[in-house]
Amino acid sequence: MDSDDAEVDFRVRAAVYDGVMTSGTAPLGEDLAAQLALSREQVAAALERLAAGRALVLQRDSREVLMANPFSAVPTPFAVRAAGKLYYGNCIWDALGIPAVLGTDARIDGSCGCCGEAMSLAVTADALEPTDGVVHFAIPARRWWEDIVFN
């Protein structure tokens, strides 16, 4: 990768995170191109390089952003309300990562993976409020990236 590509990748990644942190939704490729004065092709190539480097996960067909961890670009069962906005985590770990990234209090509205009963978690002043429940990791750490969508 040449230095021009590296610069484009940096700008695209920063803009994706800025967008999702500001609005809760990842910007589309065409919006990134307009915002950064790049061509659609330059943005698409940068997104592919960032995905290959595991900095982002792209949607299978559209190649738009699916995950800018810990944020999900699409609604998930891990809704996070923080700073007056609604975000989505990719899993409970990522949902907890959102207040960590934002540096804000947050309420996570999740549910039991088994029975679906609503379960809320609250992060206040950089601490998780005492809560019941257990977090389960199904896949051993060395295989996390083999199927990041399932995981």
Binding site for another protein (CB under 8 A): 10, 13-14, 17-18, 53-55, 68-70, 91-94, 96-97, 100-101, 110-115, 117, 119, 121, 123, 126-128, 130-142, 151
Question: Residue 58's beta-bridge partner residues?
Answer: 65
User: In the complex with another protein, which residue's Cβ is closer, 11 or 33?
Assistant: 11
C-alpha distances in Å from residue 123, one per residue of 22, 85, 100, 127? 19, 15, 9, 5
Helix 40-52 and helix 3-23: axis angle, to 10°?
A: 90
For the CB of residue 137, give the shortest distance to another protein in the complex, in Å: 5
Of residues 41 and 135, the one with the C-beta less far from another protein: 135
Cβ contacts of 6 within 8 Å, gap of 6 or more: none
- Please say which residue, 61 or 132, places its beta carbon nearer to another protein: 132
Query: Left if phi > 0, otherwise alpha if psi is -120 to 50, otherwise beta: which for 150?
Result: alpha
CB of 139 to another protein, least distance (A): 6
How do beta strands 57-58 and 85-88 pair? unpaired
Nearer to another protein, 31 or 126 (CB): 126
